[in-house]
Amino acid sequence: MGLAAAYEALRDGHQVDVMEASDIPGGMAAHFDFGGISIERFYHFVCRADFATFELLRDLGIADKLRWRPTSMGFFVKGRLNPWGDPISLLSLPGTSLGMKLRYGLFVFLCTHRKQWPALEQRSARDWLIQWCCEPVYNLFWRSLLEFKFYEDAPRISAAWIWTRIRRVGLSRKSIMQEEMGYFEGGSETLVNALMQRIEELGGRVHLKTPVRRVAIADERVTGVETPDRTFDADEVISTVPIPLVPDMIPDLPEALKEQYRAIKNIGVCCAVLKLSRSVSRHFWTNVEEPGIEIPGVIEFTNLRDVGATILYVPYYMPVSNKKFSWTDEQFVNDAMACVMRLNPAISHADLVDARVFRLRHAQPVCEVGFAAKLPPVRTQIAGLQIADTCFYYPEDRSISESVALGRKMARQIGKRDEI
């Protein structure tokens, strides 16, 4: 979001400095070296409706780096890995009545074709799903996805949020029988590097390993940004850091506004990235509904982007107060491998080639019922100051495309007083 905003502001003729606390750019899209393979720390994929991504790729001259690949889903339930995500797989699922299958299928179809969400804003996902699908269907297909992502907050998650997730994936289909996802040749690093290069060509300056200590305000307008090494004078500031960090970073904000930011709750993620000597399944994404496995799913990323080895992401979402968040890397890797070995009993610890674990304390906003009303305007009452993170494109979930769209929108608002 920050790089997209910087690029758009430079195109509009502004002078731009970007402060990045990390030693590499890209945020959650940043890469790491996994034994000679450059790959994302957190998995990303492109859907057919990601129009902001397509526009940016064209602007940067790298539209030819986008690749599409037929993908499939799996569903691990009752000790069995089943194909998933198309009508035949749904109808073939064992141990489930025809009525349950038809209700689930009709619900997903209607979600994909629904265009409006405000009516869902005041309903919980749990109640909405049970109304449409019945409680046994909710317990089988949806409960784990919500509870092992949001834990105690699961009953409060907005129906609008779950609808957009269903719709986004549902629209990324080549046909009713075939899902199709996209990726960047070379990974998300391809997009990040192209943005960095264009920012520098346009005269922008990106300062890595430069955390922001304070955004300065005087006479109700922004005046600059303080870092450990220097202060940058500024007429406009766009903040894209996680919202929970904002009140301390901008202490001179009105107290009422800081309270609005503090009221936005986030959960963390600990993502185990496994490199295996062989494939676990043919599926890109496998949902899990199985006693003793406390994750919503497993992503075999190399069934989308082939990098010459089998790489899986096993994400553990949870509040940072959860005792699991303090697990060691070894504990996460062992737990992830135990899950993988249940999905495919032919896999053993001997197949584990390498593993890494990445953590974020602010990975996912908790989008509860009525969440839209909790969000203050992106353009604050402080002249020259805009503040947003991934929760500000609610009800859409986190994605590169939504981040790009909001970042560029903020840049186009520089110098204006319109509320966004």
Query: 382-394 burial by CB neighbour count: b if 16+ within 10 A, else e?
Result: bebbbbbbbbbbb
Amino acid, single-letter form, for residue 21? A
Instruction: Spell out the SS3 assignment of the chain.
Output: CHHHHHHHHHHCCCCCEEECCCCCCCHHHCEEECCCCEEECCCCCECCCCHHHHHHHHHHCCHHHEEEEEECEEEEECCEEEEECCHHHHHHCCCCCHHHHHHHHHHHHHHHHCCCCHHHCCCEHHHHHHHHHCHHHHHHHCHHHHHHHHHHHHHHEEHHHHHHHHHHHHCCEEECCEEEEEEECCCHHHHHHHHHHHHHHCCCEEECCCCCCEEEEECCEEEEEECCCCEEECCCEEECCCHHHHHHHCCCCCHHHHHHHHCCCEEEEEEEEEEECCCCCCCCEEEEECCCCCCCEEEEHHHCCCCCCEEEEEEEEECCCCHHHHCCHHHHHHHHHHHHHHHCCCCCHHHEEEEEEEEEEEEEECCECCHHHHCCCCECCCECEEECCHHHHCCCCCCHHHHHHHHHHHHHCCCCCCCC
| Domain annotation covers residue 405 | no
CATH number of domain containing 321: 3.90.660.20
Is position 71 within any domain? no
Q: Which CATH number covers residue 142?
A: 1.10.405
Whether 411 shows a pLDDT value over 80: the answer reads yes
Name beta bridge partners: 181.
Answer: 69
The answer to whether 171 and 115 are in contact (CB under 8 A) is no
Asked whether residue 304 is domain-assigned, the answer is yes
- The domain boundary residue, chosen from 176, 206, 226: 176
At residue 160, does pLDDT exceed 90? yes
Residue 214 belongs to a domain? no
Answer whether residue 302 shows pLDDT above 90: yes
Number of domains into which the chain is organized: 2
- Chain-centroid distance of CA 168 in Å reads 13
Rounded percentage of the chain residues whose pLDDT exceeds 90: 88
Average confidence (pLDDT) over 162-172? 87
pLDDT band at 419 (very low <50, low <70, confident <90, very high): low
Last residue of a domain, one of 365, 394, 414: 365
Residue 331, in any domain of the structure: yes
pLDDT at 277: 97
pLDDT category of residue 115 using cuts at 50, 70 and 90 = confident
* Domain assignment of residue 114, given as a range: 87-176
Structure tokens belonging to residue 307: 């990098």
Paired with 176 in beta bridges are: none
In a domain, 256, yes or no: no
Average pLDDT for 21-48: 93
Q: In this predicted structure, what is the pLDDT of residue 173? A: 79
Binned at pLDDT 50, 70 and 90, residue 329 comes out as very high
Arithmetic mean of pLDDT over the chain: 94
What's the pLDDT band for 345 if we cut at 50, 70, 90? Answer: very high
Pairing of strands 266-276, 352-365: antiparallel
Average pLDDT on 300-320 reads 96
Within-domain flag for 37 = no
CA atoms of 174 and 408, how far apart (whole Å): 29
Give the residue from 350, 365, 380 where a domain finishes: 365
Q: Quick check: is 17 in a domain?
A: no
118 versus 190: the higher-pLDDT residue is 190
Question: Residue 171's pLDDT is what?
Answer: 81
Residue 418 has pLDDT above 70, yes or no: no
The proportion of the chain whose per-residue pLDDT surpasses 70, expressed as a percent, equals: 99
pLDDT at 242: 96
Does residue 364 have a pLDDT over 70? yes
pTM, 2 dp: 0.93
Look at residue 420 and tell me whether its pLDDT is greater than 70.
no
Q: Using the predicted structure, report yes or no on whether residue 71 has a pLDDT greater than 70.
A: yes
Write out pLDDT tens, residues 375-398. 999 999 999 999 999 999 999 988
